[in-house]
Amino acid sequence: MKHIALISLMLLSIGLVFALSCYDVQYTETPGPDGTYPSPYAGQTVTVTGIVTNNTYGTTSTNANPKFFISDPSGGPWSGLYIFMFNMGVQVGDLVNCTGPITEYYGFTEMVFATGATVQIVSQNNPLPEPALIQTSVLGSPAVHANAEMWEGCLVKVQNVTVTTAPNNYQEFYVTDGSGPGQVDNGCFQYGHSWSGISIGNQWAEIRGIVDYSFDLYGLNPRNNGDFYTTSNDDNVIVLPEAQLIGNYPNPFAGQTEIAYNLKSAQHVLINVYNLKGQKVRTLVNEVKADHLHNVTFDGRDDNGSLLPSGVYMYKMTAGNQVQSRKLLIR
């Protein structure tokens, strides 16, 4: 009996070792023939470990707990995955091992139900990853897959947004943070849900939700009404940072990359790029910027216009009394 128990424990350990992360399944730099970025595991049956971030996607009056999303605990780009399995009994915050085939449903990466597919609840009440801050333009129409694919299935947030179009017949509406309009949808609400009181000019400090992809559009899907954070002095009020260096994409890169940062108020911004010796090689921003999300393009050149060698560099943003830095890799 002890031998059997030991063998079972060894098999379980091996299974956990070979469980993939959502990042493993999602990350790719190779576009498919349709322009989307298919998973390198498409067509394979795998086990993926993640924390449930939503369990109400596609809810109907007769199916109260259908499909769900999972995320790597750290969050960030490429960290989410859609699990197309019905009534698995999972709750938000569950750490689960999901086993099934990976497929591309018209460009939307998902794990689907098949014979032998399973969901194992490992633990409950785990903290969710911090929603990643993205620009509304990432969710724009037409879709730009190179900018949006990494957020597919992820828990994200947009900030300081204003409604630019009222909900249409499909209950889709658009908001902007100044970077361009992005779609908000109601896929996590019960089928037939209609938005109430949303009109052009409405503003929120923050909207959180899950990014999905359908009909060649990426959409932000709030999980419930609590994912809308108002700007008024109520229980939903949030304090936005005065300045936030979001990061750059793509990273690593060859050619150019876009560095994103967010300002709560107009202020002077300085962004420099340094080599690993601490020597400044490029100044990207050195001026007063307005209060919204910004992008600055870095083309891999120094201040003299010469291409920098491949390798790791640091870029640092100084805004007000805040100093933040990130790494980037030039190929």
In whole angstroms, what separates CA 277 from the centre of its chain?
33
| Residue bearing the bigger pLDDT, 257 or 100 | 100
Q: Considering the entire predicted model, what is its pTM?
A: 0.70
Three-class SS of residue 80?
strand
What integer pLDDT is reported at residue 65 of this predicted model? 64
Selected from 3.20.20.70, 2.60.120.380, 2.40.50.200, 1.10.760.10, the CATH number assigned to the domain covering 132-229 reads 2.40.50.200
pLDDT in tens, 103-161: 999 999 999 999 989 999 999 999 999 999 999 999 999 999 999 999 999 999 999 88
Fold match, 2-123 / 132-229: yes
Higher-confidence residue of 163 and 303: namely 303
pLDDT one-digit tens code per residue, 227-267: 999 864 444 444 556 788 877 877 889 999 888 888 878 89
Question: Domain spanning 2-123: which superfamily?
Answer: Bacterial OB-fold (2.40.50.200)
**Is the pLDDT confidence value at 303 over 70?**
yes
Query: Is 178 within 8 Å of 210 (Cβ atoms)?
Result: no
Spans of all domains in the chain: 2-123, 132-229, 243-330
CATH architecture of the domain covering 243-330: Sandwich (2.60)
**Which residue did the predictor score with more confidence, 233 or 25?**
25
Q: What is the pLDDT of residues 40-99, one digit of tens each?
A: 999 999 999 999 999 999 887 666 667 999 999 999 999 999 999 988 889 999 999 999
Task: Tell me the pLDDT of the chain averaged across its residues.
Answer: 88
